[in-house]
Structure 1
Amino acid sequence: MRKRVDKASTPATASHLQGAAREVTEEKLLPSPWRRWLKRGLLACCAIFTIEIQYMLPDLTPRVVYSYGIRLPFFADLTQPAELSLNHTVNMYLTPEEGVSVGVWHTVPESQWKEAQGKDLAWYQNSLGNGSPVVIYLHGNGGTRAATHRVGVANLLSALGYHALVLDYRGFADSSGRPTEAGLTTDALYLYQWVKAHCGDSLVVIWGQSIGTGVATNTAVKLLEQGKVVDGVILEAAFTNTQEEAADPMSWLFKKVPSFGFLNTIADNSVFPSDDNLRKMRSSILFLYSEDDTIVPTRMSQQLYQIAQSVQNPDRVKMVSFSGSHGYKHNGLYKDPQTPGIVKMFMQSL
C-alpha cells in the first residue's frame, strides 16, 4: 500500500523556516547597548579627526610644498659663503616684515673679486650702484642657498659680470618664520625693493627656479600693480600652478602625495598661479627647462610660454629647452656650457 504524501506541507514548512530566519536576523539587528556605544565612539573619532585635520593642514601643506626645515647641505655655515667657493660674497639678513628675518647672499661680479676681499656689508651694498646688472635668484623648494646648484648659478652670474642676490625665504635655512605663498612673495618683493633702492638705474632681473618661478611671477604682478615693470624674468623649470601640478601624475608633487590636490583645496593654500600671472605681466621673459626633468612636467613650461607669447610681443618671450641626453634633470641647467651665453643674450636684449 502506497504511503500518501501531503505536497502542501512542503511549502508551508519552508515558509515557516524563512519567517523564523527573518525574525532571528531582525532580532540580531536590533540596537543593543554595545552597538550604541560603538556608534557613539565612531562619531566621536570622526569629530576629533575633523578638528585635528583643520589644525594639521595649515602646517602639513607648507611642509609638502616647500620641503623646508631640513638644512641641506648639512653643516654648511651660511655666514661663511667663502667656504663654498664664494669668496666674493657677503652674507646678510633683511627684515621684510616685523618678526621675520631672511638670509641673503650677495655675490659681486667676478671682476671685483680682488677688491671684495675683506670688505664689509656697507661696501657690498654700495657696489650695487656700479652699473652692473643685478639678478635676484629665487630658488626652489627644499635645502638652502648653499645647495650646489644654487652656488653654481651665483658663480655663473658673477662670471658674466652681474651681481647675484640669492635669497632663503622665511622658514628656510637660517631665515625665521614659516613659509606661505604670501610670505615668500613678500620676501622677494622686499628684496627687489631693497635692491632698487641701492642700484640706481642698473638693470634688475628676477630668476626663479621651480617653486621660485611661482614666487617670481607673483612678485612681478605685485610690482605691476604698483606701476612698476620688472626689467626681465627668467623662469627655469616653471609650473602652471600647484593645483594643476598636484593633479598631474608625472609631477613630483603628485608622486609624493597623490591626495595633495584635495588637501591643498581644504587648506586653501599655495596656488602660485603663474598661468594667470603671465596673462598680466609685461616683462621680457626667458623660459628654461630640461627635457628629462622628473620633478615638473615639461609641458608646463611650454604651456606658459604659449600664454606669455599670446599676450605680449612674441619677440620679448623666449624659450630654450635642453636635451635630456645631458642628464641635467631639474637642477642641472647651470652646468651646460651654453647657459651663460643664453643668459647673456637675454640680458643684452633688455
Structure 2
Amino acid sequence: MFLAPPSVMRKRKGSADHDSSFTGTLLDSSSDLKQCHKKTDAASDPGGSGTAMGRRYRRGGLMWRLRKILIWVLGIYIAIPVVIKVCPSIQAKLVFLNFVRVPYFIDLKKPQDQGLNHTRNFYLQPEEGINIGVLSSLGYHVVTFDYRGWGDSEGSPSEKGMTSDALFLYQWIKQRIGQKPLYIWGHSLGTGVATNLVRRLCDRGTPPDALILESPFTNIREEAKSHPFSMVYRYLPGFDWFFLDSITANDIRFASDENVNHISCPVLILHAEDDTVVPFQLGKKLYDLAAQSKSLNGHKVQFIPFPSSLGYRHKFIYKSPQLPNILSDFLSSLHPHM
C-alpha cells in the first residue's frame, strides 16, 4: 500500500489535462521522427547501395586472403628447390626413402608374424659395425635382405654401400651352394643395385647364372625426372640443376643403361604397362639397350610386358598366375638338363 499527500494528488489531478496534451504532442513528434528516419534511410541508401558496398567489402577481404595463401604457396614452391640445392643430402633421403616404414610397429626379427612361413631371420656383418638382416625362405631357396639403413639393418644407405652389401651376400651364398645355379633378382631401385653387382661379377669373370630385373629404369636421373614426386617441378627452368644434379652430387647414379654394356649373362626384364613409379618406357628402353649390347651377344635377353588391364602397377607383378611359367620357361632354357 502506497500513501501520498493530498496536495500532490490535487496537483497530479490538475495537471492531467496538461499531461494528456503533452502526451499527444510526444506521440505526434514520435510519428514525425519515424517518418523522418524512413526518409533519411531511403535517401542515404537508394537502391540498397549500402548492402552492395558490404558485399564488395567481403569480396575484397576474400580476395586478400586468397592472395595471401597464393603468396605462401608460391614461397614454399620456390623455397623447396633452393633448400635441396643448398642441402643435397635431403635429396639422397628422398631417393632412398629408408626412413619410411609402413607398417611401423612390427617386429622384423619375427618374420613369421607377418605371414612369412618357413623363414629364418639371421644377421651378417659385411663391414665392421654394419649388420644386415636376412630372410631365408627354405622352401624356395630364396634369400633376401634389408640393405644398410632399411628394416632392422644398421648404417646409412648409399649406392656404394648397397652394392657392397649385395656383393657380400652373393659371396656368402656362393660359398655355401658351390656350383649350383644362382640367380640375381632386383626390383625397382634394387634393379640399379643388381646391375651394379652383376657388372662387378662379370668384370671379375664370375658372372651369375642369370639376372632378373623387375620394374627397372635406365638411370637415376631419368627415373627421378619421371617420378610422380617431380611432377610439380618437372617443367621448372633449372630443374636438372636444382634436383638432378643434387642427386649425382651424393654419388648416386644407378646407371643400369651403362652397366648392361658390361654384363655377360642371361637377362629377363619384367615390367607392367601401368607402372606409375617407374614408367614402362624406361624398362623397355633398358631392354632395347641390353638387346644391342655387345657384351650380351650370345646370351638370352627377354622382355615380358604385363598389360595395364591386369592392374599390377609397380609392385604387384608377383600376383600374376603366369609368373611361375614365365620364370620356369626362361630358367629351364638356360639349364635344359636340370
Same fold (TM over 0.5): yes
1:221 aligns with 2:199: yes
Structure 1 residues 241, 64: closer, same or farther in 2, change over 3 A? same
The aligned residue for residue 299 of structure 1 is: 281
Question: Residues 206, 260 of structure 1: CA spacing in aligned structure 2 closer, same or farther, 3 A cutoff?
Answer: farther
Root mean square deviation of aligned Cα = 2.3
* Aligned mates of 1:62, 1:96 — CA distance in 2: 22
Q: Deviations over 1:71-114 (max 9, x none)?
A: 222222211111222221101111111121111101112xxxxx
In structure 1, what is the equivalent of residue 221 of structure 2?
243
**SS of the residue aligned with 2:100?**
coil
Distance in 1, Cα, partners of 2:172 & 2:241: 35
Write out aligned runs for 1:1-350 (5 A): 56-58=87-89, 60-109=90-139, 158=140, 163-248=141-226, 251-255=227-231, 258=234, 259=239, 262-266=242-246, 267-311=249-293, 312-313=296-297, 316-350=300-334
Report what 1:7 is aligned to: none
Shift in alpha-carbon separation, 1:346–1:253, aligned structure 2, 3 A: farther
Structure with more relative contact order (C-alpha pairs < 8 Å, separation 6 or more): 1
- Could you list the runs of 5+ residues in structure 2 that have no partner in the other structure? 1-81
8 Å CA contact 2:124, 2:132 repeated in 1? yes
The offset of 1:314, in angstroms, is 6.4
**Letter in structure 1 aligned against 2:175:** A
Distance 2:83 2:195 in 1: 34
Measured in 2, the distance between the counterparts of 1:189 and 1:181 equals 12
Aligned 8 A contact 2:88 2:250 in 1: no
Distance 1:67 1:52, change over 3 A: closer
Higher Cα radius of gyration: 2
Residue pair 2:265, 2:299 contacting (<8 A) in 1 also: no
Cα distance in 2 between the residues matched to 1:252 and 1:164: 31
CA shift at 1:253, angstroms? 4.8
Note the C-alpha offset of 1:264: 4.0
Q: Identify if the C-alpha distance between structure 1 residues 326 and 198 changes in structure 2 by more than 3 Å, giving closer, same or farther.
A: same
CA positional deviation for 1:254: 2.5
C-alpha separation in 2, matches of 1:214 and 1:82: 29
CA contact (8 A) 1:264 1:270 kept: no
The 3 A distance-change label for structure 1 pair 100 and 260 is farther
Q: How many residues align?
A: 247
Give the unaligned 5+ runs of structure 1: 1-50, 110-157
- Pairwise CA distance, 1:260: 6.9
CA distance in 1 between counterparts of 2:263 and 2:250 reads: 24
What's the TM-score, normalizing by structure 2? 0.68
Q: Contact 1:245 / 1:253 at 8 angstroms: preserved in 2?
A: no
Kept after mapping to 2: 8 A contact 1:240/1:300: yes
Secondary structure of residue in 2 paired with 1:349: helix
More helix by share: 2
Q: Deviation per CA, 1:150-205: give whole Å up to 9, x if none.
A: xxxxxxxx3xxxx1111110111111111111011111111101100111111111
TM-score (norm 1): 0.66
Distance in 2 between residues matched to 1:68 and 1:328, nearest whole Å? 23
Please give the secondary structure, in 2, of the residue aligned with 1:79. coil
The superposition leaves residues 216-243 of structure 1 with CA deviations (integer Å, 9 ceiling, x where unpaired) of 0000011122221111011011000011
